[in-house]
Structure 1
Amino acid sequence: MLSTFWAQSDVIGRAVALVLLVMSVSAWALILWKTWLLRRARHGLARAVPAFWAAAGVIEGRSALQSFDTEQLLLPLLDAATAETRNATLDAAGKRESRLTRRLRDALHAVLARLQFGQVALASIGATAPFVGLFGTVWGIYHALLSISAAGNLTIDKISGPVGEALVMTAAGLAVAIPAVLAYNVFGKLVASCEADLEGFAHDLRELLDHD
C-alpha cells in the first residue's frame, strides 16, 4: 500500500511523507539519547550527593563528585560556588552571600538547560505530526480525485482504493506523534526530579559555604 501511495503521489504528497519520516527519525533519536542521558543522570545523582556529604571536606567532596557525577551535573555547581571573583568587577560587587547565590543560580540554569535539551523538539513533533499527516491525507484524496476525474471513470470502487491509501498518512502522523508525546511527558517528570535534587544540593551547598 505504501509503495502504491508513493508511486501515485505528486511532489507535495511525497514531501509530506518525507517530513513525517524526518520527524519520526528525529523523535526516536531524541528518545533514545534522552533515555540514556536521564538514566545516567538519575543514577549519578543518587550516588554522588550522599558521597559528597559523607566526605571530610570540600576538596574530598569534589573528588567524590568526580567519581560518581558521570554527567557533570553537580560539579559545575560546586565549581561555581567555590570560584574566586576578581576585584573591581560587578561580579565582585555586593554581599558575599548574594554573589554566591548568583553564581549557583547561573550554574544551575546551565545544567538544567542540558537536561531539558530536546524537550521542545519532542513537544513540537507531538503537536504537529498529526496535522502534517492529516494534510497529507487531504492532499492525497484531492490528488486522487483529480486523477480519477481526468480519466473519466468516477466510480466508488475507483475512489475507495486511492482514498484508503491516502488515509495511511493520517495513521503515519499519529504513529509519529504518540511516541513523541509520551516521551515528552515521561522525560518532563524525570527532569523535574533531577531539578529538585539539583536545587536541593545548590541550597545546601550555599548554606555550607556561606557560613565558612
Structure 2
Amino acid sequence: MSGLQHFWDQGDLITRGVAVLLLIMSVSAWVVILWKTWLLRRVRQDIARAVPAFWSAATLEDGRAQLEAFDREAALRPLLAAAMAAPRASTLESRGHVASQLTRRLRDALHGVLAQLQFGQVLLASIGSTAPFIGLFGTVWGIYHALVAISAAGAITIEKVSGPVGEALVMTAAGLAVAIPAVLAYNVFGKFVGACEAELEGFAHDLREMLAGGAEES
C-alpha cells in the first residue's frame, strides 16, 4: 500500500488520470464479467428445462405456462409471443403468407433476445483492446516525468533512475491485468452466446413449422 501511495504522490495529473482510468475500466470489466456469468448460466439452464417442458405440453396455453415457469430471463417467451401475435390489419405484413409473417416476427424477436444476451460484449472487447495501450502510455509518460525530475536534480545515478522507472513500468502491468480478464471473458461469453443462439434458432424454427403447418391445414 505504501508503494502505491508513493507512486500516487510522485505522479503528475496525467499519470494519476491514467491510473484512475485503468481502475474504472477494471471495475467495469469485472462487473460485466460477474453479471454475464450469472445471466448466461441462468439462460442456459432455462433453455435446457423450458424447451422440453414446452413441447411436452398438450396445448399452446399449457406451453406458454411452462415457459412462464421456467424461462426466468425471458429468452424464449418473446419468441412465442411473436409467433402468436396477429399482424395488424391493412398492412403489408398482413398480405404476406402465414409462413413469411411468422418468419419475420420470429426473426425480429430472436434479434432482440440475442441483443440482450450480447449486452456488455462491446465493453469487454473495447477494454481488452485498449487497456494495454493506455497502460503503455502511462509507462512512457511516467518514465519521461521521472527522467525530467532526475535531470533537474543534477546528479543521475542508477539508484535514482531505477526507482522511478520501475514504478512507471507498473502502469504497463496494470494495463495487462485489466485487459487479460476482459479478453478471456469476451471469448468465453461469445462461445456461450453462440450455443444459446443455436438453441433459440432451433426453437424458433420448430415453432414456425408447427404454427405455419397448422395455419395451412386450417
The residue that corresponds to 2:205 in the other structure is 203
Q: In 1, distance between residues paired with 2:95 and 2:18? A: 56
The 5 A counterparts of 1:17-32 are: 17-32=19-34
Deviation at 1:52, TM superposition (A): 0.3
The DSSP-based 3-state class of the residue aligned with 1:89 is coil
The DSSP-based 3-state class of the residue aligned with 1:86 is coil
The residue that corresponds to 1:87 in the other structure is 89
Q: In 2, distance between residues paired with 1:13 and 1:90? A: 59
Q: In 2, distance between residues paired with 1:103 and 1:93? A: 14
The residue that corresponds to 1:49 in the other structure is 51
The residue that corresponds to 1:189 in the other structure is 191
Q: In 2, distance between residues paired with 1:18 and 1:86? A: 52
Q: In 2, distance between residues paired with 1:153 and 1:89? A: 83
The residue that corresponds to 1:100 in the other structure is 102
Q: In 1, distance between residues paired with 2:176 and 2:92? A: 52
Q: In 2, distance between residues paired with 1:20 and 1:86? A: 50
The 5 A counterparts of 1:15-164 are: 15-164=17-166
- Opposite residue 31 of structure 2, the aligned amino acid is A
Q: In 2, distance between residues paired with 1:192 and 1:86? A: 33
Q: In 2, distance between residues paired with 1:153 and 1:48? A: 73
| Structure 1 unaligned spans of 5+ | none
Deviation at 1:91, TM superposition (A): 2.4
Using the TM superposition, name which of 51-60 and 83-92 deviates more: 83-92
Q: In 2, distance between residues paired with 1:39 and 1:131? A: 32
Q: In 1, distance between residues paired with 2:150 and 2:30? A: 38
Q: TM-score, normalised by structure 2?
A: 0.96
Deviation at 1:86, TM superposition (A): 1.6
| Structure 2 unaligned spans of 5+ | none
1:73-94 superposed Cα distances (whole Å, 9 cap, x missing partner): 1000000000011211122131
Q: In 2, distance between residues paired with 1:94 and 1:103? A: 12
Deviation at 1:124, TM superposition (A): 0.7
Runs of 4+ in 1 over 2 A off after TM superposition: none
Q: TM-score, normalised by structure 1?
A: 0.99
1:164-183 superposed Cα distances (whole Å, 9 cap, x missing partner): 00011011001101110111
Q: In 1, distance between residues paired with 2:96 and 2:203? A: 23
Q: In 1, distance between residues paired with 2:123 and 2:63? A: 36
Q: CA RMSD in A?
A: 0.7
1:117-175 superposed Cα distances (whole Å, 9 cap, x missing partner): 00011011011111110110000000000011111122221000000000110110011
- Opposite residue 94 of structure 1, the aligned amino acid is G
Count of residues paired in the alignment: 212
